[in-house]
Amino acid sequence: MSESPASIPHDPIALLAVARARTPARILVGRAGVSYRTPTQLALRQDHAAALDAVHAEVDLEREFGSDFIKRFGLFEVTTRASSKEDYLMRPDLGRQLSATAQMALTTICPRCVDLQIAVGDGLSAAAVGSQVPRLLPLLEQKAEARGWKLGRPFFIRYCRVGVLNDIGECLNPAVVVLLIGERPGLATAESLSSYMAYRPRLGHTDAQRNLISNIHARGVGVDEAAARIIALAELMRRVQISGVSVKEDQSALLINDTSLSSHPTRDLSQHKEGE
């Protein structure tokens, strides 16, 4: 909602304060000659260091979630084909595939053909996983159970990228898969989580068959809002039996441009390649 003209300050310094309070971006910070001012430069270096730490840090399940949380959800760890953080950063393709051991673990431990399967991936921010998942996962469980859905056993994927959704779909055949994964950190926050979602993902699927709710963090999409949006979108996917570019969060804006899509949910709707 826009502010009334009477509520907008006329003092230039007050106007700057109002503008800067609306965003964490570095706007109107001033300069010293051709350079940033010292406080701006120091803050920039601090945020850059936090972003680097988030990318290179490893998730420790006990430290991030605690033993009670792990026991409650039966949380366990699997890995992708990437064998190290360096391998993961240099070979994105390996992070899109579960290791053979991981595939065996999923088929042995997790129930198949559930209504909703949640996985947690470290992605490009360990900080995001530790900050958002402990509050978000219980909310998703609560909302799924309130709808009478059968919820799969959640698990954590180390060295994870978005394309791993396809292997999860092949192994477990759930109706909807939700991947909670750390976003690439920016200089505004290193704690931003994404929720990638797909209806019955399969090998060969691309981002065209996926939906995304991003910027889940304290100054973006709060965990309460994120949980409500994730479950509502999962409900929509289950009803129309498809996900991706044809499905919008707003049910009134649902776009199905080709009536054959309902019987061919694996159709690639574009040539868009996944970015993670």
Whether the predicted pLDDT of 187 surpasses 60: no
Whether the predicted pLDDT of 265 surpasses 90: no
Q: What is the pLDDT of residues 52-67, one digit of tens each?
A: 655 657 889 999 999 9
Task: Count CB neighbours of 178 within 10 A.
Answer: 29
Mean pLDDT of the residues in the chain: 84
Q: According to the model, what pLDDT value does residue 224 have?
A: 96
Higher per-residue pLDDT: 90 or 188:
90
Q: Considering only 50-54, 102-106, 176-180, 230-234, which range has the smallest mean pLDDT?
A: 50-54
CB-based contact 16:23 (threshold 8 Å): no
Q: Where are the domains of the chain?
A: 56-263
Q: Considering only 27-41, 87-101, 115-129, 246-260, which range has the smallest mean pLDDT?
A: 246-260
pLDDT average, residue stretch 15-22: 74
State the Cα–Cα distance between residues 242 and 246, nearest whole angstrom: 8
Q: CA-CA distances (angstroms) from residue 66 to 28, 190, 194?
A: 42, 21, 22
State the Cα–Cα distance between residues 40 and 26, nearest whole angstrom: 8
Whether the predicted pLDDT of 266 surpasses 70: no
Closest CA to 181 of 55, 51, 268: 55
pLDDT average, residue stretch 170-187: 90
Q: What is the pLDDT of residues 65-103, one digit of tens each?
A: 999 999 999 999 999 999 999 999 899 999 999 999 999
Q: What is the pLDDT of residues 236-245, one digit of tens each?
A: 999 999 999 9
Q: In this structure, which amino acid lies at residue 23?
A: T
Q: According to the model, what pLDDT value does residue 30 have?
A: 76
CATH architecture of 56-263: 3-Layer(aba) Sandwich (3.40)
Percent of the chain scoring above 70 in pLDDT: 79
User: Both ends of the chain: CA-CA distance in Å?
Assistant: 34
Closest CA to 169 of 178, 161, 160: 178
CB-based contact 180:132 (threshold 8 Å): yes
Whether the predicted pLDDT of 182 surpasses 60: yes
Closest CA to 261 of 236, 273, 243, 235: 243
Q: According to the model, what pLDDT value does residue 32 have?
A: 82
Q: What is the pLDDT of residues 103-128, one digit of tens each?
A: 999 999 999 999 999 999 999 888 89
Provide the 8-state DSSP code for 89. Answer: H
Q: Is 10 exposed, middle or buried (0-12, 13-18, 19+ CB in 10 A)?
A: exposed
Higher per-residue pLDDT: 247 or 40:
247
Residue 256 pLDDT grade (very low, low, confident, very high; cuts 50, 70, 90): very low
Percent of the chain scoring above 90 in pLDDT: 61
